[in-house]
Structure 1
Amino acid sequence: MSDRFRLTLGQLNPTVGDLPGNAAQARKAWEAGRDAGAQLVALPEMFLTGHNAKALLRKPAFQRDVLTHLEALAAHCADGPALALGAPWVEGTQVYNAYLVLIGGKIAHRVLQHSLERGSDFDAAPISGPFAVAGLRIGAPIGTDGWTGDVAETQAETGAELLLVPNAAPHQRGAMDRRLNHMVARVIETELPLIYLNMTGGQDELVYDGGSFALNPGGKLALHLPAFDDAITHVDLARGAEGWQIVAGDLAPQPDALERDYRALVVGLRDYVTKMGFTQVLVEQAEGNDTALTAALALDALGPENVRQIAPPAKGTAHSALRDSLAELGTKVSDDSLAPHLRGLMLRASADAAGEMLLTAQNKSAAAIGQAAMPGDFNPIKDLYQTEVGDLCRWRNDARRDWMLGPVDAMPAPSQYSPEDSALDGVLRILLNENGTVGDCVAAGYNQQSAREAAEHISISQPQTHRSAPGPQLTAMRAPYPTAARWRDAS
């Protein structure tokens, strides 16, 4: 039995529903592993279908198409290393989140997810045991199976010598530290080396941030891949008197909190545009941090040649004509209330005529208190409070990274936010992020009347917020907003 094992990791970016494209990426990773002498090539959770393919999982035609692609991959990869990748697996009426191991032209092993998140579209399966590749027994806790100890401990007790955790984990603030803590706990509990493999890329409102890593027994970090970047990396394991150890590899520098947020917005915007079939975007040219940051994100994501900015007139004959028409119907409106809607119509017409995606630039604070937003297809700053927009403007002004496609001077000098802006954001964080009450805001030192007004605005603006353009998530999803009455009752 060999005392060396080479594993090729594919930290890659699939597209939901694109089975041919995702299978082509899998073949490319497998060929890289074959050429490097690997025994196993591993890809992340649900890689073949893309993660979050909710609308497709229960469709029989899609299920058959998945199996056809799996069988074709198995045939292609018959002579060379094993290939492990995530895909849905159907047994009768049950649909499982599976990790499938292709060896010798067939699906040789199936690992099925046991622990499910609330609201999961999959069915829960009994805990799967380890599988063997070239004499190495591997346990594979899939996704949330790795967050608690049951699955990993069972796999260790049934003979696993290595834990491989395939995941599709999106960027959220503080998520990398939480992942490391969970995986260190699995290593300590099982005394086994562990490899955590995450995917990359944006899909709708989620941005998968890569950052895959490997831990040796005791919890020492042996490998850390870059955040957000695609990577095909070869990992060596060596067996000694105390069992298998991961040979130390590169520890890629990890971005700080502001850079992680900015990069997530860039990747989310880039992939939403390209995966929707667009190449170019239109951004309103206007004063303020919101449009400045949106334009900078677009430039860094797509390059100057694919970003167009125009400034439609704020007022004019079109405003007056529409205002007069509404007045004839008994509705009195001001030019100021009409302006966002007419600017949006002008921008929409211009974007449609040029085949561009129209970007919205509205921060989370403005949306929460009901400020009118220009309609658009995607809002890159949707999950940023107004003070956070200013912080990222300042960060972008001082930063230059190789992955930025925009010019060095893409960002104009940001305007300063006021103490009132900071206070509003503090109140909104309590009401929205923490699901707190007006009383909680007062206890934190904020003005009671201001907190009441913010709560009322949130309640009134909920329908508009839920209909707004999608945008990258930077914070954990919360339950729907409670009513203003709930906030008042608890104030």
Structure 2
Amino acid sequence: MQDLTLVMAQLDPMVGDIAANTAAAIEAVREARLEHGADVVVFSELFLTGYPPEDLLLREAMESRLQDALEEMARKIDKIAPETLVIIGYPGVRRGQRYNLAGVLLGGEWRGEYAKQALPNYQVFDEDRYFEPGHEPLMIEHKGARLGILICEDLWDGAPVRQAAEAGADILVTLNASPFHLDKPAERERLFAERAREVGRPLVYVNAIGGQDELVFDGGSLVLDAAGEVAVRAPFWQVGLMPVRFTRDEASWEPQGGEREPLLGAEENLYCALVTGLRDYVNKSGFKGVVMGLSGGIDSSLSLAIAVDALGPDRVHAVMMPYHYTAEISQADAAEQAKMLGVGYEVMPIAPMVEAFTATLADSFSGLAADTTEENLQSRVRGVLLMAISNKKGLMVQTTGNKSEMAVGYATLYGDMVGGYNALKDVYKTWVYRLANWRNAQEPAIPERVITRPPSAELAPDQQDSDSLPGYDVLDAILERYIERDMSAEAIIEAGFERDDVYRVVKLVDRSEYKRRQAPVGVRVTLRGFGRDRRYPIVNGWQPGA
């Protein structure tokens, strides 16, 4: 009986840092050979550049740096693991065209390259901008096993899978950079099982992990047998090397059962995505930590818990900035949470600054009634204070607005929208509550009263969010249909929602595009996040009816 040990390298490359990614790949091969006796090591899609490199691909030096990296890998891996086959992703210019490639290295020589055939150009993907599609399969035989190489979207498309099987592949090996969104892990496994059954071959899926701007990759690399059953599943949200042993009987190669990490529940998966996205954005950008306004409300409280879990309490600084309308219980709850989580905390009353601005503006505003201008002034003073702390201490401002608020413009430009990153940007308000309850169930991190009291911006006397918005259950249901499903206003009404609520909400969404364009980046966790996912013109005359 023949056997083959394949190691899935589930790692977190840094976009653009080819030298560091190359060093990480070499070290991973050394470790995989030493600790697991790896015959094959497989990395993720575009590993050497990180994914997605976007317009870095257009830099003149890109190709020469990649060639240096490939030469270094061949030289060094030949010394430490000459009998180990390495399959790794990178871009490359061949015959004047740029391709998304998977290279195969053995014994100090690059034995072949596979060019990705199915180039995604939807949602967050824009690969048609950069790459030409490949057309040919690639078979690599090693220790008696014929490995058919695929790259990410090839699996979803299906045609390259069938092509590889028809070309004689014993095992399908796929390099991936598959971004996370809610329900994506289960969706992937259903599709991959279908592909494995369709061609009657075992399938290896190696995914990237970590955050990159608004994208986040969850890992969960896995191996399925020819019947579509999971033989090995790597952990989600953890870097590492995961081995799987294949054995050959008279007819075929079959993966032997190994570690099978469980699929995570929705709340845990989403929370881990937010933690990972924030952690990698802060660390990869070189910030010392984060500073954020802590209001005693649900959004900032959940954001604080996420920041602490991502960075540790020593790298998180919270500031309470009370005004006349800030409730005593808000101040008490903020102080309690800061103490509970052990973060740096200070109180900066803003009344003197707001009053100074008001006095300066008095002549200009003479004869005009008070309105949201005065409310926004409070928020903008808070933004000024947070940015001053950021500049002085090298801390990134973490903003705290949720997707429901960002959708309808319930946020203040240059006020509570000020900052570098927003972990909750793509999280609906109803999910904010679900996540807060889930986090507290693991270990208390948010005062219970923050979760149970009615939400309020506290910019006016006795103000509540429900004064100007439908209830969040209704609001989020309308938003999900309008933003993620592209349903028209009339179609949403036909689904059972009040006409006045629907038109009020969709008009707010359309009118607030200019605000969202000026909002900080945040991790994308739904099917349609604000950013690269949803590209609407700011100025337009579209009417949101049928």
TM-score normalised to structure 2 length: 0.85
**Structure 2 unaligned runs (5+)?**
324-349, 455-465
In structure 1, the residue matched to 2:238 is 229
Structure 1 contact 438–487 (Cα < 8 Å) conserved: no
Q: Is the 8 A contact 2:490 2:545 kept in 1?
A: no
1:445 aligns to what SS in structure 2? Answer: coil
Within 2, Cα distance between the matches of 1:143 and 1:305?
39
Distance 2:445 2:398 in 1: 17
Cα deviations by residue, 1:76-116 (Å, 9 ceiling, x for unpaired): 11124121110001114311110011112122110110111
Q: Tell me the equivalent position of 1:48.
A: 48
SS of 2:168's equivalent in the other structure is coil
Q: Which amino acid aligns with 1:393?
A: A
Going from structure 1 to structure 2, the CA distance change for 1:484 and 1:387 (only over 3 Å counts) comes to farther
Alignment match, 1:456: 507
The residue number in structure 2 matching 1:358 is 397
Q: Does 1:471 align with 2:522?
A: yes
Shift of 1:485: 6.0
1:367 aligns with 2:406: yes
Distance 1:68 1:370 in 2: 48
How far off its partner does 1:461 sit? 0.8
Match of 2:354 in 1: 319
Tell me if structure 2 keeps the 8 A contact 1:27–1:73: yes
Question: Residues 479 and 305 (structure 1 numbering): CA distance in 2 closer, same or farther, change over 3 Å?
Answer: closer
1:489 maps onto 2:545 in alignment: yes
How far 1:362 moved relative to its partner? Answer: 0.2
Q: Secondary structure at the match of 2:61?
A: helix
Letter in 1 for 2:205: Y
Are 1:173 and 2:168 counterparts?
no
Q: Where does residue 447 of structure 1 map in the other structure?
A: 498
The match for 2:485 is 434
Match of 2:148 among 139, 144, 156: 139
The whole-number CA distance in structure 2 between the counterparts of 1:144 and 1:313 is 50
Alignment of 1:132-211 (within 5 A): 132-211=141-220
Mean alpha-carbon deviation: is it higher for 413-422 or for 23-32?
413-422
SS of match in other structure, 2:411? coil
C-alpha contact 1:379 1:471 (8 A) present in aligned 2: yes
C-alpha distance 66-90 of structure 1, shift in aligned 2 (>3 A): same
Q: State the distance in 1 between where 2:74 and 2:361 align.
A: 65
Contact 1:172-1:473 at 8 Å conserved across structures:
yes
- Per the TM alignment, residue 313 of structure 1 is displaced from its structure 2 partner at its CA by 3.8
CA shift for structure 1 position 470: 0.6
Q: Which amino acid aligns with 2:297?
A: G
Q: Is the 8 A contact 1:163 1:193 kept in 2?
A: yes
How far has the Cα of 1:156 moved from its partner? 1.4
- Tell me the equivalent position of 2:19: 20
The match for 2:435 among 363, 369, 392 is: 392
- Distance in 1, matches of 2:18 and 2:264, equals 32
Query: Where does 1:28-177 land on structure 2 (aligned, <5 Å)?
Result: 28-35=27-34, 36-78=36-78, 79-118=82-121, 119-120=126-127, 121-177=130-186
Share of identical aligned residues, percent? 31
The answer to whether the 8 Å contact 1:390/1:415 transfers is: no
118-127 vs 275-284, greater mean Cα deviation: 118-127
Q: CA deviation at 1:140?
A: 1.3
Q: How far 1:248 sits from its partner (Å)? A: 0.8
1:208 to partner: Cα distance: 0.3
Shift of 1:279: 2.9
For residues 101 and 497 of structure 2, the distance between their equivalents in structure 1, rounded to whole angstroms, comes to 49
Match of 1:10 in 2: 9
RMSD: 1.8
Deviations 1:8-32 (A, max 9, x none): 1111111101112211221121002
- List alignment gaps of at least 5 residues for structure 1: 400-407
Q: 3-state SS of the aligned residue for 2:210? A: strand
CA offsets, 1:192-223, max 9 Å, x none?
A: 11111111111111110001111111112111
1:420 corresponding residue in structure 2: 471
One-letter code aligned to 1:116: L
How big is the shift at 1:436? 1.4
CA offsets, 1:382-433, max 9 Å, x none? 001111111111111102xxxxxxxx43222213567822111111112111
Q: For residues 201-252 of structure 1, what are the alpha-carbon distances to aligned partners after superposition, in whole Å with 9 as ceiling and x for unaligned? A: 1111111000111111111211111111112122111000221000111111
8 Å CA contact 1:363–1:383 kept in 2: the answer is yes
SS at match of 1:489: coil
Asked if 1:480 corresponds to 2:535, the answer is yes
Amino acid at match of 2:431: E
- SS of the aligned residue for 2:526 comes to coil
- Structure 1 residue aligned with 2:330: none
TM-score with structure 1 setting the length: 0.94
**Counterpart in the other structure of 1:342:** 381
Residue 156 of structure 1 aligns with an amino acid whose one-letter code is A
8 Å contact from structure 1 (residues 320, 335) kept in 2: no
Q: Would you say the 8 A contact 1:148–1:182 is kept in 2?
A: no
Helix, strand or coil at the partner of 1:432: helix
